[in-house]
Amino acid sequence: QKEVEQNSGPLSVPEGAIASLNCTYSDRGSQSFFWYRQYSGKSPELIMSIYSNGDKEDGRFTAQLNKASQYVSLLIRDSQPSDSATYLCAVKRGSWGKLQFGAGTQVVVTP
């Protein structure tokens, strides 16, 4: 079992709709969780971090964390073509810094 799992996609989303991305992790002691966006050929860009159960909203993005079920999700509302990218889920390991990344979910927003 991979430590951090994501559906590879592609996830096809009509423009203006909600994109829903899921991520599960195996280490029950994980404390912090991150979503990165990566455009093709570019480096990852941090878009959300969350470490408490529940929802965290930032603009069109909402991260949801459920530690009991060991999953974290990302919702993108009012999806735009510029949201077309690969979204990486990352989970903090241990007492500091080290992150475990999932393989990413490719999102394609169609006009």
Partner 1 sequence: DGGITQSPKYLFRKEGQNVTLSCEQNLNHDAMYWYRQDPGQGLRLIYYSQIVNDFQKGDIAEGYSVSREKKESFPLTVTSAQKNPTAFYLCASSDRDRLVNEQFFGPGTRLTVL
CA distances from 20 to 16, 28, 30, 55 (A): 13, 23, 22, 14
For residue 87, state whether it binds partner 1 (rule: CB under 8 A).
no
User: Which residues are CB-contacts of 95 (< 8 A; sequence separation ≥ 6)?
Assistant: none
Distance in angstroms (rounded) separating the CA atoms of residues 52 and 56 = 9
Amino acid found at 47: I
Provide the minimum distance between the beta carbon of 32 and partner 1 in the complex, in angstroms, as a whole number: 5
Q: From residue 55 to residue 74, what is the string marking binding to partner 1 with x (rule CB under 8 A)?
A: --------------------
54-62, 64-72, 74-82, 100-108 -> range binding partner 1 (CB under 8 A): 100-108
Q: Least CB distance from residue 68 to partner 1, whole Å?
A: 19
For 3, which DSSP code?
Answer: S
Interacting positions 15-54 with partner 1 (CB under 8 A)? 31-32, 34, 36, 42-46, 49, 51
Tallying the residues shown for the chain, one arrives at 111
Binding site for partner 1 (CB under 8 A): 4, 8, 31-32, 34, 36, 42-46, 49, 51, 88, 90, 92, 96-99, 101-104
